Chains A and B, each alone.
Chain A
Amino acid sequence: MGGKMLNLAKKTFLAFLASIVLSIGVSKAVQSKTVEIIMAAPDWPPTRFMQEYFNSNFPQSGDTEIKLTLDFIPWDTFYTNVAASLTSGEEKYSMIVSDSQWLGAFIEGGYFQKLNKYIDADPELQAIFDDMHQGYKEGYTTYPYKSENYYGFPQFPDNYVNFYRTDIFCNPDENAAFRAKYGKKLPCTYADWEVTVWDDIFDINEFLTRKKGEMMAGKPLEDDMFGVTYQAGKAYDFSSMQINGFFWQYGGDIWREDQQPNAQAVGVVNSDINVEALTKYLDLLATMHPSHKTGGMGIFEMQALYLEGKIASMINWVGLGAPVVDPSLSKVYDITGYARQPGTMQADGTISRWANLGGQPFVMTTWMTDEEIDASFKIIKWWLSFDTQIAAVKAGGQSCMKSIIYSDGYNALAPWNAAYVASMDWQKDVWHIPEFFELLTQQQEEFDKAITGQQDAKTTLDNIAEFQQELLEEVGRIE
């Protein structure tokens, strides 16, 4: 009896094994071909999620297996690596996660594929385009900026959110002390932050800047503590993104590429309003963590300080939110609140919250074969489908599809979603023209001189305006 049972078990097991082998064989036979899409991507959580989720959830169909391989490149060198790959002619990448500012440079170089004819021929792609938030569609897909020429799809939409320590900002004793000293409430809830403007940050930072060993929220501090902190780094765009927001909130502007060749740089970039806005940015910076003095307060450095509990609040991209709520990485994973970044009070009593659009589209390159183009559109449709977008949002990502962000329960998917969605209508993008990196690098150097105390706001903006005027006249963008 026992022997028969053993034999039966053996036969069942062998049959089970045979069926697995057969099914693998059949599926391999059916999917006789593999198309590999290599995508250049910055190395951070939203792109790592895309790779993992594709590997486990992408629905393979038809006789071709689609393989997506993300080539992860660190953020600091991402532009340089991608630019080197494209200009060298190696034709390594079929798809690229591109910052929106790069579009002009690489479209003019002949590397990024125009998508209009594919969109016109495919109702599914048209539906995707119709579903995108207008500001994000213009930022991520159009060149020239705000034109009807489309080049990309959103890979990871992003904007600023205020991450703040609820154990400090909502502590009753701290609140009482703050009220006693400044006669107002220390912002604790989302609603409190909605009425908080940059001028309030002077008081908040003065109040929260304390030395190691002093008491804060009922405990002695293990390290020096600082208040609200924002970007002020020399690398890449780690000061321009925050400063542009100040210009726009004050009513100033940057050089307007959508109004070339009439738009000027001199008189706009160094306008009195912009000087006032930059002065406010610099004055506030003086109350923040001193790392900015090295030109090193980039988005990752700021994130590290916040995760270690050394600053009470950071204004940073949503894309850097996932590690904040990860107990293995963050000391503040369960004591963080989320709000919109402070704005600037206008004469009519409203608060302006303009900010520089973050996030990235992904684009297709011009040397792709028909099979690769077909496979890429399948990946794009899958990535922008409802279920995948929801999964991405749950994992710390974001969406700019109206059907997703305005759907019921969206704000509950991630703790920063309410702040993210409320900020979406306040986004403008920086230049998309091919000369953007030259403009950006010179601007970053000049801002860095101001941040490190080598020159004042007026000199800084005069130098930037003069450089931009000369360069843009030379390439025929200003007449």
Chain B
Amino acid sequence: MNNNSGFLAWVMDPKRRGPMLIAPAIIVLLLINIVPLMWSFGLSFFKYRANTLKPPKFSWFYNYEKVVQKEGIWEALQTTAIIVAGSVGVQMVLGFLLALLFAKKFPLRRILLMFVLTPMMLSNVAVAIYFKLFYEPEFGLLSQFVQSFTGEMYVLLATPAGALIGVIVADAWQWTPFVMLLVLAGLVSVPKHLYEAAEIDRMSWWRTFTTITFPYVRSLLLLAVLFRTIETFKIFDLVFILTNGGPGTATETIGVLVYRTAFQFFRTSSSAAMGYILLFAVIVLTSLYLYVIKQRESEEM
């Protein structure tokens, strides 16, 4: 009993209370995040396939060399970059325009806003299946619409360009509301008296936008670009379900390539090396954006 109360008293000591309270979270983080990360990093320096009984064999940078020399990864990075540029670009433009629309008050605004926000709340799998059906040549709405003019079925996903457009449209449809929401948060925070002052000064719409509205939403817009670039760079489920990386390898993103290498080819250590290259690319992108944001902040100061 004394021992117990002694232990409790030791644990509840105000000096230790803080560390003890966060300890479970740290342990969970270590176990499910840091340890596997280190494990897979270590594995990327071995030759190992998870579907064989052969033990891992240390191979220095063999996997990194092999992965970098393969054409597949550069093609996949290029495809990913096209999808990121296309999708994030569309999201920014449409998200900004929608935010400008919803910043104003009009009848049924709240209900309409709810509908516009719905896509980002859906699961990626549901969105992918929806668009797969939407693009389907036999009964898909897109094909039916085109067929009513041309008399021929329209097969959007049949060409590399069409398939890329199909993926970009689906991704942009789902995530434009997210960008809109962030920008909207910035727009509603602009002090009203600035607009009143601009009105008194008879400033043009464009000047009001560039000198009052945009500076208030710029940092949030950059944040949206950052989030969406990182997320789109990792895109997997939408592409895998919608096009399976096809036609051929035209929409095979780096995420799909890593999955195939790991779980279809069972080149476990090669896929680990690819995963770290992907992680490195995301870290570079993140640092770049953070640097830009800091530069802007320092300019504003």
Chain A residues near B (Cβ < 8 Å): 79-80, 83-84, 86-87, 105-106, 108-110, 211, 224, 234-235, 290-291, 293-296, 305, 310, 434, 437-438, 441, 445-446, 448-449, 451-455
Q: Using A293-B155, A293-B158 as known contacts, say yes or no to A87 and B246 having CB atoms under 8 A apart.
A: no
* A109 B246 Cβ-Cβ under 8 A: no
Q: Does B52 contact A (CB under 8 A)?
A: yes
Query: Which residues of chain B have C-beta atoms less than 8 A from A80's C-beta?
Result: 263-264
Q: How far is the CA of A294 from the CA of B162 in the complex (A)?
A: 10
* A234 B246 Cβ-Cβ under 8 A: yes
Nearest-neighbor residue (CB-CB) of A452 within chain B: B247
Identify which of B153, B159, B247, B260 contacts A290 (C-beta below 8 A). B153
**Binary interface encoding of chain B residues 251-278 relative to chain A, with 1 for a CB under 8 A from any of its CBs, else 0:** 0100000001001111100000000000
* B51 A86 Cβ-Cβ under 8 A: yes
Q: Which 5 A-B pairs have the closest CB atoms?
A: A449-B248, A293-B158, A452-B247, A295-B246, A438-B265
Query: Which residues of chain A have C-beta atoms less than 8 A from B250's C-beta?
Result: 454
Q: How many A-B residue pairs have CB under 8 A?
A: 92
Q: List 16 A-B contacts (CB under 8 A).
A: A86-B51, A87-B50, A87-B51, A87-B266, A109-B51, A211-B151, A234-B247, A290-B158, A291-B137, A291-B138, A293-B137, A293-B155, A294-B135, A438-B264, A445-B246, A454-B160
**Binary interface encoding of chain B residues 1-24 relative to chain A, with 1 for a CB under 8 A from any of its CBs, else 0:** 000000000000000000000000
Q: How far is the CA of A291 from the CA of B266 in the complex (A)?
A: 31
Q: Using A295-B244, A295-B246, A445-B249 as known contacts, say yes or no to A310 and B160 having CB atoms under 8 A apart.
A: no
Q: Does B157 contact A (CB under 8 A)?
A: yes
Q: Does B111 contact A (CB under 8 A)?
A: no
* A454 B248 Cβ-Cβ under 8 A: yes
* A109 B247 Cβ-Cβ under 8 A: no
Task: For the A-B complex with A109-B52, A441-B265, A455-B248 known, give 8 more contacts whose Cβ atoms are closer than 8 Å.
Answer: A79-B264, A86-B51, A109-B53, A234-B244, A295-B247, A437-B266, A438-B267, A445-B245
Task: List B residues 114-161 near A (Cβ within 8 Å).
Answer: 135, 137-138, 151, 153, 155, 157-160
Nearest-neighbor residue (CB-CB) of A437 within chain B: B264
Most buried by B among A83, A290, A291, A296: A296
* A290 B137 Cβ-Cβ under 8 A: yes
Nearest-neighbor residue (CB-CB) of B263 within chain A: A80
Most buried by A among B155, B246, B265: B246
Query: Which residues of chain B have C-beta atoms less than 8 A from A83's C-beta?
Result: 51, 263, 266
Nearest-neighbor residue (CB-CB) of B241 within chain A: A76
Q: How far is the CA of A453 from the CA of B245 in the complex (A)?
A: 16
Q: How far is the CA of A441 from the CA of B52 in the complex (A)?
A: 19
Chain B residues near A (Cβ < 8 Å): 50-53, 135, 137-138, 151, 153, 155, 157-160, 243-250, 252, 260, 263-267
Query: Which residues of chain B have C-beta atoms less than 8 A from A86's C-beta?
Result: 51
Chain B at the A interface: SS class: loop
* B52 A446 Cβ-Cβ under 8 A: no
A271 to chain B, nearest CB (A): 22
Q: How far is the CA of A454 from the CA of B75 in the complex (A)?
A: 15
Q: How far is the CA of A434 from the CA of B264 in the complex (A)?
A: 11
* A290 B246 Cβ-Cβ under 8 A: no
Query: Which residues of chain A have C-beta atoms less than 8 A from B53's C-beta?
Result: 108-110
* A434 B52 Cβ-Cβ under 8 A: yes
Most buried by A among B50, B138, B245, B264: B138
Query: Which residues of chain B have C-beta atoms less than 8 A from A446's C-beta?
Result: 248
Q: How far is the CA of A451 from the CA of B246 in the complex (A)?
A: 11
* B138 A310 Cβ-Cβ under 8 A: yes
Query: Which residues of chain B have C-beta atoms less than 8 A from A305's C-beta?
Result: 138
Query: Which residues of chain A have C-beta atoms less than 8 A from B267's C-beta?
Result: 438
Most buried by A among B53, B247, B252, B264: B247
Nearest-neighbor residue (CB-CB) of B268 within chain A: A87
Query: Which residues of chain A have C-beta atoms less than 8 A from B157's C-beta?
Result: 293-296
Q: How far is the CA of A79 from the CA of B135 in the complex (A)?
A: 27
Identify which of A108, A211, A434, A448 contacts B248 (C-beta below 8 A). A448
Q: How far is the CA of A85 from the CA of B90 in the complex (A)?
A: 40
* A448 B246 Cβ-Cβ under 8 A: yes
Q: How far is the CA of A290 from the CA of B264 in the complex (A)?
A: 28
Q: How far is the CA of A80 from the CA of B263 in the complex (A)?
A: 7
Query: Which residues of chain B have C-beta atoms less than 8 A from A437's C-beta?
Result: 264-266
Query: Which residues of chain A have C-beta atoms less than 8 A from B52's C-beta?
Result: 108-109, 434
Query: Which residues of chain A have C-beta atoms less than 8 A from B248's C-beta?
Result: 295, 445-446, 448-449, 452, 454-455
Query: Which residues of chain A have C-beta atoms less than 8 A from B244's C-beta?
Result: 234-235, 295
Query: Which residues of chain B have C-beta atoms less than 8 A from A295's C-beta?
Result: 157, 243-244, 246-248
Q: How far is the CA of A83 from the CA of B50 in the complex (A)?
A: 10
* A294 B155 Cβ-Cβ under 8 A: yes
Q: How far is the CA of A296 from the CA of B266 in the complex (A)?
A: 25
Q: Using A449-B247, A454-B160 as known contacts, say yes or no to A105 and B137 having CB atoms under 8 A apart.
A: no
A336 to chain B, nearest CB (A): 20
Query: Which residues of chain B have C-beta atoms less than 8 A from A455's C-beta?
Result: 248
Query: Which residues of chain B have C-beta atoms less than 8 A from A106's C-beta?
Result: 51
Q: How far is the CA of A294 from the CA of B247 in the complex (A)?
A: 7
Query: Which residues of chain B have C-beta atoms less than 8 A from A105's C-beta?
Result: 51, 266
Query: Which residues of chain B have C-beta atoms less than 8 A from A234's C-beta?
Result: 244-247
* A441 B264 Cβ-Cβ under 8 A: yes
B203 to chain A, nearest CB (A): 52
Query: Which residues of chain A have C-beta atoms less than 8 A from B265's C-beta?
Result: 437-438, 441
Q: How far is the CA of A105 from the CA of B246 in the complex (A)?
A: 26
Query: Which residues of chain B have C-beta atoms less than 8 A from A235's C-beta?
Result: 244
Most buried by B among A83, A86, A305, A310: A83
Nearest-neighbor residue (CB-CB) of A440 within chain B: B264
Q: How far is the CA of A50 from the CA of B153 in the complex (A)?
A: 40
* B247 A84 Cβ-Cβ under 8 A: no
Query: Which residues of chain B have C-beta atoms less than 8 A from A453's C-beta?
Result: 158-159
B255 to chain A, nearest CB (A): 15
Query: Which residues of chain B have C-beta atoms less than 8 A from A449's C-beta?
Result: 247-249
Q: How far is the CA of A80 from the CA of B245 in the complex (A)?
A: 16
Nearest-neighbor residue (CB-CB) of A442 within chain B: B265
Q: How far is the CA of A80 from the CA of B153 in the complex (A)?
A: 33
Q: How far is the CA of A152 from the CA of B158 in the complex (A)?
A: 40
Q: How far is the CA of A234 from the CA of B249 in the complex (A)?
A: 10
Nearest-neighbor residue (CB-CB) of B54 within chain A: A108
Q: How far is the CA of A361 from the CA of B29 in the complex (A)?
A: 43
Q: How far is the CA of A448 from the CA of B135 in the complex (A)?
A: 18
Q: How far is the CA of A446 from the CA of B245 in the complex (A)?
A: 12
